Amino acid sequence: MSAGSKGLLARALAAPDPRALGTGAMALGGTLLFVSLLVAALGESPFEAIWTILDGALGDPAGIGQTLMVAVPLALCGIAAAIPFTARLWNIGAEGQMHIGAFMAVAVALTLPSLPAPVFIPLILIAAVVGGAVWAAIAGGLKTAFGANEVIVTLMLNFVAILIATYAITGLWPQGIAPATERVPDSALLPSVWDAGDVNLALPITLVALVAAWVLMTRTGLGLQIRSIGLNPFASRMNGMRVGTVTIATFAIAGVFAGLAGAMEVIGENASLITNFSANYGYIGIAVALVARLSPAWILPSALLFAALQVGSQSLPAAMGIPTSFGQIIIVAFVLGLLGARVIRLRYAEGAVQ
């Protein structure tokens, strides 16, 4: 192994500088204060709340397994935000791309005659990935061709995508009065890899996808172009990079990861496309990407942190009568604190939004 590759790995995993850690600690302190006040306002003990969350997320195999399975879409949506953000392309559309992936998965699984699993599952995943990529590429294409602000376009496409998924549930393949589509055939379901934790093949697939994202960003020409455009689009153009093509490609790549996330929700535990299956994973993925400082190597730990809070919060209503959205508030307040403390900062070239 050459010294260069070791340096690269070291750089990818490098700890943030000490000053950032100091302000990070301040952000953490501020978040804890905010959370304590919030819990106190609800008339409960903050310590008990945090203990309940930890116990629910990591207390038993079922909790650990669920944390891992929630980390799957969060990590994939994190990548779907991190890669375009590196190019300073604001893909807020992971939520929609995920819904299109789920729609494509359920469409293929329910319309094709049942095939053996080794053929069926890859086919479903490919359809979902293509769907997500094409959906995401719309935003990239509109930005390249018309200079349409990708923040607005991706946000609007999210609402449209969710309505398309809703149409699959209410119009195309309804399952009685349940807010879900018909059940997909058994041969379309991802096989289990850890029964005690109810963990299926989605986890290994996600790990492979994370490695692929890391390789793409650090080892390929396209990754270099994406990073270069993020640092300075004008210099990149002057150096002969096709900024428009790379823009569309970047969005399509993001859509691949988000679409994969959506499909694996459908052919995983749920076995159908259910209303509100995503629980804002697409948006929380942005926070995951920020905490990972847009580095693919840090996406997994970041996603696990968010997943643990999310899963742990589910025990709050039963244990303490605090609504589940509490967990989301904690983590999001923390990320906002990190942004305010400038621990997470994105480099800025002079220029406007467009």
Partner 1 sequence: MNTTVLISVFATGIALMTPVLWAALGEAISERAGVLNIGIEGVMLFGALVCAWAIREGAGIWTGLLLSIPVGAALGLLLAFLWVSRGADQIVSGIIFNLLALGATTLLFEEFLKGVGVVTSLDDIRIPLLADIPLLGEILFEQPSVVYLALLAAPLVFLLLNHTWFGLYIRSAGEKPRATETAGLSVTGLRYTAVILANVLVCFGGAALIAITSGGFVSNVTAGQGFVALAIVVLGRWNPFLIVGGALLFGVTQALQFQAQSLGFLSSLPPEAWLSLPYLVTIAAVVVAKSSRYPNACGVPFTPAGATR
Binding site for partner 1 (CB under 8 A): 42, 85, 90, 92, 142, 146-149, 151-153, 155-160, 163-164, 166-167, 170-171, 280, 283-284, 286-287, 290, 323, 325-326, 328-329, 332-333, 335-336, 339-342, 344-346, 348, 350-354
Shortest Å distance, C-beta 120 to partner 1: 28
Give min distance, CB of 186 to partner 1, in A: 29
Give me the least distance between CB of 249 and partner 1, in Å please.
Answer: 20
CA 200 to chain centre: 18
**CB 279, min distance to partner 1, A:** 11
CB of 238 to partner 1, least distance (A): 21
Both tokens of 291, joined, read: 């905490």
Nearest residue (CB) to partner 1, 10 versus 348: 348
Comparing CB distances to partner 1, the nearer of 8 and 349 is 349
Measured CA to CA, the distance from residue 228 to residue 209 in angstroms comes to: 23
The answer to whether the beta carbons of residues 222 and 246 sit under 8 Å apart is yes
β-bridge mates for residue 192, sequence order = 200
- Is the Cβ of residue 252 or residue 316 nearer to partner 1 in the bound state? 316
Residue placing its CB nearer to partner 1 in the complex, 9 or 160: 160
Measured from the CB atom, the residue of 89 and 199 that comes closer to partner 1 is: 89
- In 3D space, the residue among 87, 128, 348 whose CA is nearest the CA of residue 237 turns out to be 87
* Least distance (Å) between residue 340 CB and partner 1: 5
What distance lies between CA 339 and its chain's CA centroid?
19
Nearer to partner 1, 45 or 170 (CB): 170
Q: Which is nearer to partner 1, 272 or 313 (CB)?
A: 313
- Cα dihedral 280, 342, 156, 106, rounded to 10, equals -30
- Closest contact distance (angstroms) between CB of 342 and partner 1 is 6
Write the CB contacts of 166 (distance below 8 Å, at least 6 apart in sequence).
Answer: 275
Sequence-distant (6+) residues with CB within 8 A of 127 are 104, 105, 107, 108, 263
Residues 6+ apart with CB under 8 A from 213: 79, 82, 83, 257, 296, 299
